[in-house]
Amino acid sequence: MRIALLGSGRGSNADAVLRAQAEGRLGQAKVVGLWCDVPTCKMLELGPKYGVPARFLDSGPFKTKFSPEREQVWADDLKAAQVDLVVLAGFMRVIKAPLLDAFAGRIINLHPSLLPAFPGLDGIGQAWNAGVPEAGCTVHWVNAEIDGGAHLGQTRVHREVTDTLESFANKIHAAEHALLPAVIARLSETLSR
């Protein structure tokens, strides 16, 4: 199963997936490229580190969504790479018809909350400000509803009285780094049949 990792930032989730691949923990999946929508994205630095193509693609003038024309360019680029599964790993853009149509039922997202709680931006901050006793992360299928697709896996993280926002966020990120590769490995076995 050929995987595309899409990201916008630090690339810590992409690094976790690529590390799992290097260690033989990604099942039948193989990351065939990294696609970033920010030219200074730290995730781009992972390409040379892991021997995986990494590229910046312009997404248009909007900050949190694609222009329709640019989203079609992304869809065409991913199709040209013969991608089987698109993985949104810290990708901060709303996905619409061009990508949803081109990869129907083949896009997953990692979100830093226990969906359906705290969808959208800053799931960790939302959970922290709400004072919930636990939060976590969810991997889900992507559909037209923001963070609304069926869940593929969740990991719960308890909030301790000694936690700060930073320590709480670090625990959630550690949970993300374990969950995402595990879900990809599982999908590589079930979707490849």
Residue 39: asked if its preceding bond is cis (omega within 30°), the reply is no
If DSSP codes are grouped into helix, strand and coil, which group holds residue 131?
A: coil
* Nearest Cα residue to 8 out of 92, 111, 123: 92
pTM of the prediction? 0.94
Judge whether 88 and 95 are in contact, CB under 8 Å. yes
Q: Please identify every residue annotated as catalytic.
A: 111
20 and 185 Cβ atoms separated by less than 8 Å: yes
For every one of its 193 residues, what pLDDT tens digit does the chain have, with 9 covering 90 and above? 999 999 998 899 999 999 999 999 999 999 999 999 999 999 999 999 999 999 998 777 777 777 888 889 999 999 999 999 999 999 988 898 899 999 999 999 999 999 999 999 999 999 999 999 999 999 999 999 999 999 999 999 999 999 999 999 999 999 999 999 999 999 999 876 5
Whether the CB-CB separation of 111 and 137 falls below 8 Å is answered with: yes
User: Domains in the chain and their CATH numbers?
Assistant: 2-112+138-154+177-191 (3.40.50.170)
What does 8-46 look like in DSSP terms, one character per residue?
A: SS--HHHHHHHHHHHTT-STT-EEEEEEESSTT-GGGGH
